Amino acid sequence: GVMEKLGLGPEVLLQENPRLIYARLTGFGQTGKYAKSAGHDINYLALSGVLSKLGRKNENPYAPVNLLADFAGGGVMCAMGIVIALFERARSGRGQVIDASMVEGVAYLSSFLWKSQNLGIWSQPRGENLLDSGAPFYETYRTSDGKFMAVGALEPQFYNQLIEGLGLNLDELPAQMSFSDWPEMKKKFASVFAQKTQAEWCSIFDSSDACVTPVLSFDDVASHQHNKERSSFIRNDQGEMSPRPAPVLSRTPAVPSCKRDPFVGEHTEEILLEYGFTKQEIAKLYSDKAIEFKNPKANL
């Protein structure tokens, strides 16, 4: 309701411009019991049902930072809604309002969890299933130098290469999908991984299809050979590292800026002047604390 209070709600603006696409990104959505309630990523994740699936055995559910509801279920799904509305407008000539709820966005994003319930993938309690740290062959393991390796050897042919790389004998181990043996197998794998450094395990598994990769830190990720070959990470003019824009388009790829991120308010005066505000009007907005400046050289 904030935009309505400013007299800039969708009903008003769509009358002015029927082609307008008006995206409304909120946690709980535009209607419903919680519509006007405060919340954060963990709350939206909880209400979507997804949080109940995240966590290890005998531990509380945990939220993976604020990536799922805020950025994936919120930002990315909202952006997709805008793209869909743009595509539809090319046919109808009309805009529309997008109600992007983070609860519904992350729930829809997790459709796989709902559609695969009858496949046996999620038949066990949290943390005891194939993809949620229950399986010994889909897990992370600590190395002798305190780093980690990620294992995702789901298919039998990949699992066989994992066992070979670990120096174990397949014939002496329980069947891969023997659920009751998974806890003991995790202990065995952990013991083996703890005997070598991350670099040593990389030298063993890098040329195989065992689906074993190093868990890279932010400090290491840009120097890894694969990422380096693809220029997956870039530095700005301050030497700060960030991911290159993705996905990469063949004809019109994004051209990332190598400038540092702007300070809050750094370009306020410049932009307002460009839009026709006078310096006196800008000074009044600043004195009313409606805008903010960061640039100490602002000359009003």
The tens digit of pLDDT for each residue in 140-194 reads 999 999 999 999 999 999 999 999 999 999 999 999 999 999 999 999 999 999 9
Tokens 């005891």: give the residue.
128
Read out DSSP for 49-79?
A: T-GGG-S-TTS-----TTIIIIIIIIIIHHH
| Integer CA distances (angstroms), 153 to 104, 119, 163, in order | 32, 19, 10
Task: For residue 299, name the pLDDT band (cuts at 50, 70, 90).
Answer: low
Assigned domain for 246 exists: no
Let me know whether 37 and 73 are in one domain.
yes
Assigned domain for 60 exists: yes
Q: Which of 87, 119, 151 is the last residue of a domain?
A: 119
pLDDT surpasses 70 at 296? no
Let me know whether 100 and 147 are in one domain.
no
Alpha-carbon torsion angle 130, 136, 137, 141, nearest 10 = 120
The pLDDT of residue 295 = 62
* Tally of domains in the chain: 3
Catalytic residues: 40, 70
Contact 48, 54 (CB under 8 A): no
SS3 state of residue 256 = coil
Pick from 81-90, 97-106, 264-273: least confident: 264-273
Assigned domain for 109 exists: yes
Assigned domain for 108 exists: yes
Task: For residue 6, name the pLDDT band (cuts at 50, 70, 90).
Answer: confident
pLDDT surpasses 80 at 243? yes
Let me know whether 11 and 115 are in one domain.
yes
Residue 65 to residue 62: CA distance in whole angstroms: 9
Residue 21 to residue 13: CA distance in whole angstroms: 10
We report the CATH number of the domain holding residue 14 as: 3.40.50.10540
Global pTM value = 0.87
Tell me which residue range forms the domain holding 277.
262-299
Average pLDDT over residues 194-210: 97
Let me know whether 147 and 192 are in one domain.
yes
* Backbone angles phi and psi of 164, in degrees to 5: -65, -45
DSSP code of residue 37: S
Contact 82, 21 (CB under 8 A): yes
Render pLDDT for 27-48 as a digit per residue (tens, 0 to 9).
999 999 999 999 999 999 999 9
Let me know whether 99 and 202 are in one domain.
no
Q: Which of 160, 190, 215 is the last residue of a domain?
A: 215
